[in-house]
Amino acid sequence: MPEIARQKTGPRMSQIVTHDGTVYLAGQVGTPGDGVADQTRACLEKVEALLAEAGTDSSRILQCVIWLADMADFAEMNAVWDDWVPEGHAPARACGEAKLATPEYKVELIVTAALP
């Protein structure tokens, strides 16, 4: 049976969980108070760092679920995403509106990726 590996584990959650060749990241948020574009960039930087720590990269993302505090920010978030996503490696993706942990958060990304 494949082992479950957890990294950056605290009492509530792990930032990285790996199982059977798949990497699951905890939801990533930006700096509270920044605009949606800056928060999206910060989320993506965190995703890249966590994926690297897990032994993979953004070209191997299988799925990304994006939560926006306000769907009015969809185009601004997408502009950052579109500049970032590796050409030819766009993952399955969903985006919806939700109340996030605090009103200062505008975007949260939840990523699942494959190991090489």
pLDDT digits (tens, 9 = 90+) for 21-75: 999 999 999 999 899 999 999 999 999 999 999 999 999 999 999 999 999 999 9
pLDDT-derived band at 115 (thresholds 50, 70, 90) equals very high
Q: Where are the beta strands (DSSP E) in 1-116?
A: 4-9, 14-19, 22-25, 28-29, 61-68, 92-97, 107-114
- What is the rounded CA–CA span in Å between residue 87 and residue 55? 20
Determine the average pLDDT of the residues in 97-115: 97
Percentage, residues of the chain above pLDDT 90: 97
Q: Identify any residues that bridge with 108 across adjacent strands, giving them in sequence order.
A: 29, 67
Average pLDDT of the chain is 97
Burial class (CB in 10 A: 0-12, 13-18, 19+), 64: buried
Distances (CA, A) of 104 to 80, 82, 101, 107, 109: 19, 23, 8, 9, 15
pLDDT at 2 over 90: no
Determine the average pLDDT of the residues in 93-113: 97
Please give the domain boundaries of the chain with CATH numbers for all domains.
4-114 (3.30.1330.40)
Determine the average pLDDT of the residues in 4-31: 97
How large is the C-alpha radius of gyration of the chain?
A: 14
pLDDT-derived band at 1 (thresholds 50, 70, 90) equals confident
- What is the rounded CA–CA span in Å between residue 61 and residue 56? 9
